[in-house]
A = this chain, B = another copy of it.
Amino acid sequence: MKVKAQRVNAIVQLIENNRVGSQDELLTLLEQLGFKTTQATLSRDLKALKVAKQPDYDGGYVYVMPENQVPEESELSYGDFPLGGILSLEFSGNLAVIKTRPGFANGIASVIDSHGPYEVLGTIAGDDTILLITRETVSRTGVVSGLSLFMPGIRDKVVG
């Protein structure tokens, strides 16, 4: 019976590509792909896959694959944009701290400055840290969206 294998495969894809926040949500997504099952089975599948449920930065929850728990070095892309230099993005109040690889902070900060996204008032860069002052009226998801316009993949760097 390879139904299970296919379903498990689909679950992995769905969790990696969408922001799945509950098992019922996952259940619906699977139905749209033609898998019909129950929440009980999903609970078992998720346990077998070691998928963790983590609080999201926007106030909800997300299921995350175990290897996504640790920022993956393998996906460093030094192509268009030196996103590989970015290790994490974390918020505190109306500030955001971007951790970079040593020496990257100034370069990345100047890229942000040159694009001047509305949500960002300004940046200050050290050697491996960028401090980002956000506009008072914008949300955190708004800031991330603004950055992602020219920093594709930045969402994956958001911590917590």
Chain A residues close to B by CB (< 8 Å): 46-55, 57, 64, 66-71, 88, 90-95, 97, 99, 106, 109, 113, 121-129, 131, 133-136, 159-160
**Which residues in B have their C-beta under 8 angstroms from that of A122?**
90, 97, 99, 129, 131
12 contacts between A and B (CB under 8 A): A48-B55, A50-B54, A51-B55, A53-B53, A66-B160, A67-B69, A68-B160, A92-B121, A93-B94, A97-B122, A124-B131, A131-B133
**Which residues in B have their C-beta under 8 angstroms from that of A95?**
94-95, 133
Q: How far is the CA of A133 from the CA of B106 in the complex (A)?
A: 18
A126 near B124 (CB under 8 angstroms)? yes
Q: Which chain B residue shows the least CB distance to A159?
A: B68
Q: How far is the CA of A128 from the CA of B114 in the complex (A)?
A: 12
Q: Which chain B residue shows the least CB distance to A66?
A: B160
Known: A50-B160, A66-B159. A92 touches B55 (CB 8 A): no
The smallest C-beta distance from A102 to any residue of chain B, in angstroms, reads 10
A92 near B124 (CB under 8 angstroms)? no
A93 near B93 (CB under 8 angstroms)? yes
The smallest C-beta distance from A57 to any residue of chain B, in angstroms, reads 8
The smallest C-beta distance from A61 to any residue of chain B, in angstroms, reads 8
B159 near A92 (CB under 8 angstroms)? no
A47 near B55 (CB under 8 angstroms)? yes
**Which residues in B have their C-beta under 8 angstroms from that of A93?**
93-94, 136
**Which residues in B have their C-beta under 8 angstroms from that of A69?**
52, 54, 64, 67
